[in-house]
Chain A
Amino acid sequence: MSVLNRLSLGLGLVFLYAPIAVLVVFSFNASSLVTVWGGFSTRWYGVLVNDGPLIAAALVSLKVASLAALVATLLGTLAALALNRSGRFTGRGGFTGLVYAPMVMPEVITGLSLLLLFVGLGLDRGLVTLVIAHATLGLGFVAVVVGARLKGLDGSLEEAAADLGAGPFRVFATVTLPLIAPSLVAAFLLAFTLSLDDLVIASFVSGPGATTLPMRLYSQVRLGVNPEINAASTLLVGGVTVVVLAASFLTGRRGVGNQGT
């Protein structure tokens, strides 16, 4: 790699990760002043562990993320199967667009429209509405990830199974599902992190007693940034990184991800 390439790569990485690095470094600050370095300490992680409301918010986030990811994976996989395995049907292109469009929809609009829907239905805002909203958010991404895997799958495998006497259900259970399983896990993890990260939609559809971690952090920041927030954010960044790496490992593994690419 030439010097110029190294330099531009370095600049790019600094631009992307310097803010996060600052956050991580200051989470280990002994001083209670956010911008003044007072030596290395893990005291804020201790404070964090004993911060009841923050832990409660984290638990809400994990619960919502798990349930939402589950629902999104289920529905998104069904959508991907319908779009990739039902042959050509009228409006297939339109359906594909409709499944993918919410991914590029501004979150404010998604949040607002969901809020209007829930109010219209008379649904009390709380955990349930959060799960529904985040499942909606993740569904499109799941359909993309699983759909890519289905596209890469040699269609003659399913034909061979049918040829050997397997009905449609057995074909799916014994051939299609095992072969797309890694992409299901990856899609689940992706939907999970999307839910964990979301602040905008959650602000619209959440109610009392269902405060997620990002909501809690945001409200604390408005009262002033303290090193405890840095510590919580560092843990969140670490967790999300691990999950995303796991997801990309699962989709990138040989013979498991997009075989064609």
Chain B
Amino acid sequence: MAPFLTLERLTKTFGAQVAVADLSLAVPAGEILCLLGPSGCGKSTLLRLIAGFETPTGGAIRLDGVDLTGLAPHRRPVNMMFQSYALFPHLSVSRNIAYGLNGLRRSAAAARVEELLRLVQLEDFGNRRPETLSGGQRQRVALARALAREPKVLLLDEPLGALDRGLREQTQGELRAIQRRLGTAFVIVTHDPSEAMALADRIGVMDKGRLVQVGRSETLYERPVNRFVAGLLGDVNLIPGTVRDADGALVRVETALGPIFASGESAPSIGAPAVIALRPERLAASTIDGVAAGDRNTLDGQVEASIYLGDHIRFDIRMRDGSTIRANIPAGTGIASETHVRLSFAPDAATVMAA
């Protein structure tokens, strides 16, 4: 798909503080892109730049070939769903949704409001005031209102942040279903990695105003480009070492635990310091005299702690250099009673990153 929304070298500074730094990004039509990062990483500012509430210090925003950079918010064919929902308290649900439809004839606007109320399953709530609705209902009104003008891109700022957990998972499904039905591109800002993975076609990880890595959930989880991305998306073991040898994507890294073969598409050059990222659930455990398949890396260690967590057992294994490796092993493998174990993993399960 051709890029639809493109950000070109976008920069925004507030005084000496850099909120968005030289950021380029392309979003194809119909995609859900999640911007993920800790608070203060610039993801909300980026959204406000696209909506037009902030003026970029440098760079350009293009949508479908049209330069939006200098346009006022009310002239942009994008709409935003606010974190606080920002429903107008003095207007009914119907009139909130109809607010953006004042270009339409009255009957057409009324029909559109009906259609949107059906879309978010609030048919009987048109005459209610926002303050009489539950959090989940308000969220849906805000979504309907933001979709009313059929925006080319919908911007969502922490759309599920104000909902409690059970409702959040249900709403994630509904949000995806609505997006698939309409085919509108969604740009969603969130600080919650699991939410981003549940919603996104692609995730863009932001840190200190920069876009660190963009890609599908699997890519980010399995092949993070640095410690920040690796740590953000879940538990990870980080093993420092030095790159010794590279054969295509296979890299040999010399570590305090011995040589480790790992996948290194974006590995640093030979001789450079590196870090291996290894997910705890990609490790297998056997008894210390167990034999691993020839191409697998092995790590021997002493069990420091093991916690039974139902679907898996979480081991913390003390290595010979004093470091600890975490391994999540399926329960019922009989390894729980051992004091010394041998961990093994395929080179493909580990990623070499720049230190």
Contact = CB atoms under 8 A, between A and B. Distances in A.
Nearest to A156: B86
Contacts of B79: 163-164
A157 B88 contact: yes
Interface residues of A, number: 18
Contact of B73 (A157, A162, A170, A174): A162
Interface in A174-193: 174-175, 178-179
A178 B80 CA distance: 22
A166 B88 contact: no
A164 B86 CA distance: 12
The A interface, classified by DSSP as helix, strand, loop or mixed, is: helix
A255 B83 CA distance: 19
Interface in B23-60: 51-53
Contacts of B103: 165
B149 interface: yes
A160 B148 contact: no
A164 B53 contact: no
Interface in B69-86: 72-74, 79-80, 82-84, 86
A170 to B, nearest CB: 8
Interface residues of B, number: 24
A159 interface: yes
B80 A160 contact: yes
B82 A165 contact: no
A162 B72 contact: yes
A170 B53 CA distance: 17
Interface in A139-169: 154, 156-157, 159-167
A93 B74 CA distance: 30
B89 A159 contact: no
A160 B51 CA distance: 10
Given A161-B88, A170-B102, 12 more contacts: A156-B84, A157-B86, A159-B51, A159-B53, A162-B73, A163-B80, A164-B100, A164-B145, A165-B103, A166-B74, A167-B74, A174-B99
Interface of B: 51-53, 72-74, 79-80, 82-84, 86, 88-90, 99-100, 102-103, 131, 145-146, 148-149
